[in-house]
Amino acid sequence: MAINEKLKKAREHLGKNQKEMAALIGGGYRSWQGYEQGTSIPGGKVFEALAKLGFNTNWFFMDSVPMLQGTENQDAPVFIEQVLVDVIVAVETYFTQEKRYLPPEKKAQLISALYEMFSRSEEKKVNRAVVIRLAKLAS
């Protein structure tokens, strides 16, 4: 994404129109329009103001960093071992007790989906009733 597109995205993230954004950074409306259109390049004072608003100024130049300061690790998935263990145990217990078979690839997909669902929940706990219901659907 080009710098001008990122400047527009930053403005939209703040919920501002171009005039409001220009005032917020201490610049002119026409200057901000030029930045977003790609006809002007913002100077250091603009990026300093954006940093004060919480933007990671490196983001404007690199795609591999987060847009906001202090969010470097928020985009990275957090591995929760106990949730994965509980999902695997619940799935294996169900298939063993019910004497059902699911090919390894399908079982891995089921476990992955269940892990993703439960690891994103507030409680970070596995609901066995949900596991059984989805395992029945998968088999």
Q: What is the pLDDT of residues 44-75, one digit of tens each?
A: 889 889 999 999 888 888 887 889 887 655 54
Q: What is the pTM of this model?
A: 0.52
Query: How many CA atoms lie within 13 Å of 99's alpha carbon, on the beta-carbon side?
Result: 0
Q: Is 42 helix (H, G, I), strand (E, B) or coil?
A: coil
Rounded Cα–Cα distance for residues 114 and 112 (Å): 6
Is the domain spanning 3-60 CATH 1.10.260.40? The answer is: yes
Give residues with Cβ within 8 angstroms of 57, minimum separation 6. Answer: 47, 50, 51
Residues 47 and 60 sit within 8 Å (Cβ to Cβ): yes
Residues 72-105 pLDDT 10s: 555 445 567 788 889 999 999 999 999 999 998 8
In the chain, what are the domain boundaries? 3-60, 81-138
